[in-house]
Structure 1
Amino acid sequence: MFDSPLSASAYEVLAVEPGADHETLRKAYRLRLRQTHPDTGGDAAVFVQVQRAWELVGTPEARAAYDRGHGFGEAPAPEWSGWRPPAARTDTRPRARSYGHPGGWRRERYLDLVREWVGRGVSIADPYDPALVRSAPHHLRRLLADALAEEATARVVADLGMGYTVWHDVLAAGRDADPDAKIDHIVLGPSGLYGILSEDFGGPVRLRRGEFVGDGVPGAPIAELLASMRSIARAAGVRFSGAIVVLPDEDVLEPIDEIGKVRGVRVAIVSRSALATVLRRGVTGARDIGGNEVFDVRTRLQQTVRFA
């Protein structure tokens, strides 16, 4: 919750300055508990955030570790797991066939724009330094958050095994397609063919009439995903079984929320930890793909897919 480039810091959740003394911090925590408690009309999701924030900064030891890791201390930690590329994998089990570079387009865009924001000719020791990222404009932090979300999803689908094929960062097809429109992931397996959007809005969001709504929601993410899926389906001559939107675990109330059909396509909103379960069993009511059809669909997509 607090490791996303878009999420509020523990201090922002508690409504205090990072330099506040412990007694001020403790009073702010108790006040925020009263303000956000569901029994007094508060938001349950924010109430949980307040408790989590106190766990992170409520003791001197925890606060010192949090400050170092998030750029509030005098010197950042030498390695900060939240915004770093994953470590090299040593697991040798068979993995899903994978094509493309998950999060690559957005990471490259972030690196270009953060250097432009800092200033041409200015050396940046670490473009992922927590203090630097925290101070960056919102659109830069969103690029990084989305790149990290795509990379996290890619790690999940890779572990599905050899029966699955996944394409990452797939450009929408067709002459009329938006040149920047893409599908984060396309996953083909026995349970079906799915278009997947990996998102991180920096906190919980609401659904209204089959679309995300809220101040942190850019555009119409579900509608844009479905439009890109339609373009690929037409170009490759395939049928998608459904669409899946993956959110961080702490940003969903239910790990799996199948919201029914949106524009004729079955859509599920799932937590990252529940994604493998959904892809193995399929979205309820979605069409399975088996036998020779899997090979036919894979061949068609291989001939059609272009990467961002």
Structure 2
Amino acid sequence: MAESPLSDSPYEVLGVPADADAAALRLAYRRALRTAHPDTGGDPVRFHAVQRAWLLVGTPEARAAFDRGLRGPTSAPTREAWAPAAPRRPRDSRPLARSYGHPGGLTRELYLARMREWVGRGVEVPDPYDPELVRRAPRDIRHILADALTEEATARALSTLGIAYTVWHDVATDAAGPGLPPKLDHLVLGPTGLFAIQSEDWGGPVAMKRGELVGEALGGERPFRALAARAKAIGRAARVKPTALVIVVPDEYAAEPLEVGGSVRGAVVALVRSSRLASAVREGLPGSAHLGGTEVMEVRSRLQAVVRFA
């Protein structure tokens, strides 16, 4: 199970309450293992999740450690996994992409505000990233934190593109998604095109279908439509056209590393795994227009003149 605020707890994976006794836990594990086993037509991803859940709570020692939030090879994440990471110096001297803005900053502000609202006015929240508190929060609040983490992971990947690329994070736009702040997560410009990128973690698998994402976890959202609206608002102001619309999700939620799904207003749309993003941008998406050196400079100047940060 991924260290995501939206990941099911081991008890949820096994289908038992957190206070289930050892016998009930063992019975639930055996049933879940039997129904999820690939040899009997089960889902390999689900089978792995059941095994992982048992490692976390299958013995009295492991269960006690998990319930206390202790960290180990098979334990739950500590608050450091979800709190803002301290800046780190690059390990080598290779030039990084030029980056502007604060990735995940506005999303984290929204998370903190919603967490305080949920806990209650006047109630002190000593640590809003405490794993026990996060697990008890409503799903929509955990979703906001999961998105912030994904935005930060995307920013780290994009920083490795090199000096030929310019990246803007948290770009303000008047086109917002449902329950989300009015911003585009990432805008990337380089010789392989102008990419409008949204980082998302819905806590479940998604797939491309007729130029849009589908999946139970989406809850009726139309992510590419929302992304296209954000990109259009920025492009109109700068008099430029994005060449690609990209949604990035954690690796385990996309069946393919890169899935292209047609185009919207001339921009290729693609679903990309987080680990594949940097190479996808460097190589360019299939069918997406590349830009010449003079064109890149002109587009950068236009964007720099209009980009504002959320």
- Give the TM-score taking structure 1 as reference length: 0.88
Relative distance call for 1:276 and 1:22 in structure 2 (3 A) is: farther
Which residue does 2:126 correspond to in 1?
125
Which residue does 2:292 correspond to in 1?
290
Which residue does 1:223 correspond to in 2?
225
Quick check: 1:214 aligned with 2:203?
no
Which residue does 2:18 correspond to in 1?
18
SS of 1:216 mapped into structure 2: helix
- Give the Cα–Cα distance (whole angstroms) in 2 for the partners of residues 63 and 262 of structure 1: 49
Please say which of residues 219-228 and 83-92 is displaced more in the overlay.
Answer: 83-92
Which residue does 1:50 correspond to in 2?
50
- Give the Cα–Cα distance (whole angstroms) in 2 for the partners of residues 300 and 56 of structure 1: 52
Please say which of residues 44-53 and 106-115 is displaced more in the overlay.
Answer: 44-53
Which residue does 1:108 correspond to in 2?
109
- In the alignment, is the contact (CA less than 8 A) between 1:70 and 1:131 conserved in 2? no
- Give the Cα–Cα distance (whole angstroms) in 2 for the partners of residues 205 and 48 of structure 1: 19
| Residue in structure 2 matching 1:238, options 222, 230, 240 | 240
Which residue does 1:89 correspond to in 2?
88
Q: One-letter code of the match for 1:260? A: G
- In the alignment, is the contact (CA less than 8 A) between 2:250 and 2:273 conserved in 1? yes
List aligned pairs for 1:152-231, cutoff 5 A.
152-172=153-173, 177-178=175-176, 180-218=181-219, 219-231=221-233
Report deviation, 1:68: 3.5
- In the alignment, is the contact (CA less than 8 A) between 2:69 and 2:132 conserved in 1? no
SS of 2:32 mapped into structure 1: helix
List aligned pairs for 1:251-262, cutoff 5 A.
251-262=253-264
SS of 2:218 mapped into structure 1: coil
- Give the TM-score taking structure 2 as reference length: 0.87
- Give the Cα–Cα distance (whole angstroms) in 2 for the partners of residues 238 and 104 of structure 1: 26
Report deviation, 1:229: 0.8
Q: CA RMSD in A?
A: 2.5
List aligned pairs for 1:144-155, cutoff 5 A.
144-155=145-156
- Give the Cα–Cα distance (whole angstroms) in 1 for the partners of residues 84 and 12 of structure 2: 26
- Give the Cα–Cα distance (whole angstroms) in 2 for the partners of residues 6 and 290 of structure 1: 42
- In the alignment, is the contact (CA less than 8 A) between 2:166 and 2:189 conserved in 1? yes
Please say which of residues 129-138 and 199-208 is displaced more in the overlay.
Answer: 199-208
| Residue in structure 2 matching 1:301, options 269, 294, 303 | 303
- Give the Cα–Cα distance (whole angstroms) in 1 for the partners of residues 25 and 115 of structure 2: 33
Relative distance call for 1:27 and 1:245 in structure 2 (3 A) is: same
Relative distance call for 1:60 and 1:189 in structure 2 (3 A) is: farther
SS of 2:112 mapped into structure 1: helix
Relative distance call for 1:170 and 1:87 in structure 2 (3 A) is: same
Relative distance call for 1:254 and 1:56 in structure 2 (3 A) is: farther
Relative distance call for 1:9 and 1:189 in structure 2 (3 A) is: same
List aligned pairs for 1:54-73, cutoff 5 A.
54-59=54-59, 62-69=62-69
Quick check: 1:29 aligned with 2:29?
yes
SS of 2:245 mapped into structure 1: strand
- In the alignment, is the contact (CA less than 8 A) between 2:104 and 2:148 conserved in 1? yes
Percent of residue pairs identical? 55
| Residue in structure 2 matching 1:265, options 261, 264, 267 | 267
Relative distance call for 1:69 and 1:258 in structure 2 (3 A) is: farther
Report deviation, 1:83: 0.8
Report deviation, 1:57: 3.5
Report deviation, 1:26: 3.6
Q: One-letter code of the match for 1:111? A: L
